[in-house]
Each structure stands twice: as structure tokens, then as C-alpha cells.
Structure 1
Amino acid sequence: MTAEFPLTERDFARIRALIHRHAGIALGSHKREMVYSRVSRRLRQLGLPDFAGYLDLLESAEGSAECQLFINSLTTNLTSFYREEHHFPVLARLAQASRQPLAIWCAAASTGEEPYSIAMTLFEAIGERATAARILATDIDTDVLARAEAGIFRQERVGALSPERLKRFFSRGVGANAGYVKVRPELRALVRFERLNLLDASWPVKEQQDAIFCRNVMIYFDKPTQKRVLERFVPLLKPHGLLFAGHSENASLVSPCFRSAGQTVYSLAPVRAGDRA
């Protein structure tokens, strides 16, 4: 069967180079079919005849807006409420032990399930004191961020939540909105959403964090990119702050700046004498 848009080896190499340069994503050669499926949608929408012309657009001065859509097309946004559930009791204990309002950065917010799970955990752990917490939720994909900010989910997305959590933290849609739920205002108020590319020269994170959630992101980066990102986390964590990683990620293997503090939970490693300025 002839492909609608021929994808040459040169086209595929250019796509891999572009997404690595702009988003840090290291695409393996086995991702060719996935790349074709996702990027070809942009060709259809723009009425372009081939990948070469689309890539020329991305690399042109007029291609900045399209570049964001290109990035959106190739990011993976698998998420769920309380994904990797063992992290949330750790967060709850951190909140209960803190005498100050917590600052937490969720560095891959996707469609919002993760930052809202963080917010629910704080309310359950420390009650009304949670309203003073600051949760920054960022993502490189502007499409999923818009959905996260809206805080509206299909009923099946919250199906695994307990009836108590559903009643406390969500409003059920009625009429035309039947089958959907919306996060309640007090939960939504805890989270600030902002676009962020982990490769950007500067990040909108100005204060030290009690916790950084960067889960299932590093797996898409090559080792040098992982190391650079982890090293940039170091000054942004409070001395006793925690980094939460994905189940297949091991921060301590990539960077000597971190040591294991639990199941895919990391704390800052002690500064060695030879590392001091």
C-alpha cells in the first residue's frame, strides 16, 4: 500500500533532529510509524504535499507557531489520577511535617490529573492549611495544558477515584454536560498552569520547592539531556526537598546530585568537600 505522504530517511532524520533540538525528545528509529501517523495530520490540515515542505516551514522564520503544534503532535500524554500511587503517601507525610506552606512543581502536568492528585493529597493530609500551598503545573504541550486548566474530565477518567473523593473534589455535570465532572474551585485555585519547555534557558520557577514531580519525562531524553535537567533541579529544591520520578527512571544513576529516598523518590545527595566552591 502506497503511503499518502512518502517519508524518506532524510525527512525522518530531520524530524528526529528537530524534536530533539526543540523538546529534548530522543526518538528511536522504531518510532517511524508513530511519527508518520502523528505528523501527517499536520500535513493534511495545512494542505501540504510532502514532509520536506512541512519541515522547510518548521525551519523557516514563519514556522514558530507551527513548531509548537509539531511539538504537541509528538509528545506523549499518558496519565491518570494517582498514577504511581506509592508517591502520594510520601507527599502527605512531607506536607504534615512542614510548618510552612508547601511549594510544589509538577513538571509534566499533561491533562491535569497529576497536579490535581497532588492538590487532593494536600487537602486530605493537612486540611485547610493546604490552601496556602503553591502548585506550579507545567508542560511543553499547549493543547493538554488548556484541557488541564479547564479541569473538566470525562466520567471514565475519574472512575478509579473513591466516592468520597469524587464528592469532595468534583462537581458532576448535568444536562449537556452529563458524563463529565469538573474540579471544584478550591482545588483548582491551588494550581497555576504554565507552559514550560525543560530545554528552555530559563524556567518560571523562582522559589525553592519542597517537591518536584518529574515523572515519566526523562525516559524520552538521552542521557546528556537527563543529566542537564537533573542538575538544574538541584538549586530549585529545598535542602530536604524531594524529587519524584517515574517507575522506570533512576535519577541517582544519571546524576550524582541525588540519592534514593524511597521507591523512585530522591533527595539531594550530600555535597562532597571536593564539590564545594
Structure 2
Amino acid sequence: MAEPALRRRLRDMLLETTGIKIPDSKTPMMESRLRRRITHCGASGLDDYLAYVFQGGGLSEEWPHVVDAMTTNKTDFFREPAHFDMMAHRVLPEALAGTRPGTHRRFRLWSAAASTGAEAYSLAMLLAEAALAAPQLDWAILGTDISPSVLAKARRAIYPVAELAPVSPPRRARFVMSGTCPDGQASGRIVPELRRRVRFAELNLMEMPYPVDTELDAIFLRNVLIYFTPDTQAAVIAALVPHLRQGGYLFVGHAESMVVDHPELVQLAPAAFVKRRRN
């Protein structure tokens, strides 16, 4: 039948272009996530929509929306706080150790699945605090994601108050400006001082090598690898490692520790790895 073939084609294209593997059993989930596009296109259901996408000339217009809908984009401020504790108490002190007075310590970090920016701005708060105590810290963050729509939200840096709940009151007072969304919902916007140091760009982790600087101090790629096949997981990790400096850190999601298996990476803590230094 045509309908199952089109669903398979959708899953195959998603796997090929994004690395995301969606089993047959997840068809109801696919239809739920695509409901808005199904309605927008006036389709009667998932199969009617896929017929339009693949047979009716809608592929170029709809594919970015399909990828956006099928990407999880789950993120929170200070999610998995142990990683932020490790940044504050190990990674940053280590980076600053031995810095001579009057010099700068360049610190660069990549949030490789940035979604709407909560992770990148959480790290920005941490780095800004460290720079207050150590003005020689010259930091910047790159946030990348496959979805243009979530990156647009990240650049706006406006979040409902409920999403900012994990940010401590002192940090909210220092780094978040209070406001109101057009719908009347209370919101906060990340202050310009942080926004200037966080840059966002579109990047597909399946398109290697990555157009990203090398000699990075840390890479955060959390809760993304679990959606990839084992071969894709290994390929992504192998593509990330050259971007880390020797002694640089890779953080993955806590459910992904067992996924990371690379000869240049040593595990230090749950879901935290360091790149070996050469003798």
C-alpha cells in the first residue's frame, strides 16, 4: 500500500538527513507532532499530508517544518546541574590556573544542540560569574542546532517566567530583565551583556566535518545521541573530538555515558569526559 511506503520514506529521510531513528511503532507520535502542518496544508491526516510532501510538490516547502516538528528540542535552564557544578569547580579553575596578571585566558565553549538557548545561557551565566572574580577570563559561546525556529527563539532570548524557574533568584536579578510577552504572559529576557557573547548558528550534526573552531575548552552535546543509531553516535563523537583542545571537556546526557567510546576521551564523572593530553 502507498501509505506505509510513504511513512517509511519519511523515516528513511529523517534518518539520512538528521540521524534520528524513528521506529514503526512511533507512527502515532509522528502524526501528533505533524498535526499543525497537516492542518496548515489542509490534509485529512498523516498519509494525505505525506502524499502532498512526497508526491504533490510540497517537499521543499515542508521539509524544514518536518525536521523542526520531529526534533525533540527539550531543554531547560541548568538541566543536569552536576555538569554546571563541574564547570564551576573544576573546568574553569583549571583553565584559569597559572594565568599571569595582565593577560587574558581565552575560553571557548560549544553548545552543540542548543535548542532554544537555555543551556547556552545557563553556561553564559556561569562564565559571567567566573569573569567577575577573574577578569582575565575572555569567554564566548557558540550554540548550534538543526532547527531554524528554535534558534530564532534562542536569539530573541525571551522566556516565560515558568521556564526561568531553575535560575536562582540572584542570577535572575543579575542576568534576566523582567517583561511581558505580547500575550500578556510574564517573561524575562537575558541581558545584553550575555547575549553579546553567545552566538547561534544552524548546524546539522550529520554534515561532517563541522564548520566550528578547534581548540575549544568544552563541548556540550547532551540528550541528543540517544536518538541516533550506534554508527551515527560513534561518527558524531569522532567528529567532535578534533574540535576539543587537549584537556578539553565533552559533556553528554546522563543517559548517554555508555555511548561515548573514543580512544582520546577519558571519563571523569557520569557523562563527563576529558580529551587526553599528549605526552
> 1:146 and 1:160 mapped to 2: Cα distance?
22
Q: 1:1-277, aligned counterparts within 5 Å?
A: 8-48=3-43, 50-56=48-54, 63-92=59-88, 93-98=90-95, 99=99, 100-127=105-132, 129=135, 132-173=138-179, 179-250=186-257, 253-269=260-276
SS of corresponding position for 2:135: helix
Q: Gaps spanning 5+ residues in structure 1: where? A: 1-5, 273-277
Residue 90 of structure 1 deviates from its aligned partner by 1.5
Query: Residues 57 and 119 from structure 1, CA distance in 2 versus in 1: closer, same or farther, beyond 3 angstroms?
Result: farther
> 1:131 and 1:189 mapped to 2: Cα distance?
15
Letter in 2 for 1:185: P
CA contact (8 A) 1:123 1:130 kept: no
Query: Residues 244 and 57 from structure 1, CA distance in 2 versus in 1: closer, same or farther, beyond 3 angstroms?
Result: farther
SS of corresponding position for 1:8: helix
In the superposition, the TM-score normalised over structure 2's length comes to 0.86
CA deviation digits over 1:160-217, x for unaligned, max 9? 3221111000011159666111000111111000011001134220232100000000
CA contact (8 A) 1:25 1:222 kept: yes
> 1:36 and 1:26 mapped to 2: Cα distance?
16
CA contact (8 A) 2:115 2:150 kept: yes
User: Which residue in 1 is equivalent to 2:102?
Assistant: none
Query: Residues 251 and 210 from structure 1, CA distance in 2 versus in 1: closer, same or farther, beyond 3 angstroms?
Result: farther
> 1:95 and 1:142 mapped to 2: Cα distance?
31
CA contact (8 A) 1:108 1:137 kept: yes
| More displaced stretch, 120-129 vs 46-55 | 46-55
Residue 226 of structure 1 deviates from its aligned partner by 0.4
CA contact (8 A) 2:233 2:259 kept: no
Residue 39 of structure 1 deviates from its aligned partner by 2.2
Dislocated runs of 4+, deviation >6 Å: none
CA contact (8 A) 1:244 1:264 kept: yes
Letter in 1 for 2:107: L
Q: Gaps spanning 5+ residues in structure 2: where? A: 100-104
User: Which residue in 2 is equivalent to 1:275?
Assistant: none
Aligned length: 265
CA contact (8 A) 2:257 2:270 kept: no
CA contact (8 A) 1:252 1:260 kept: no
Query: Residues 258 and 175 from structure 1, CA distance in 2 versus in 1: closer, same or farther, beyond 3 angstroms?
Result: closer
> 2:12 and 2:255 mapped to 1: Cα distance?
25
CA contact (8 A) 2:77 2:119 kept: yes
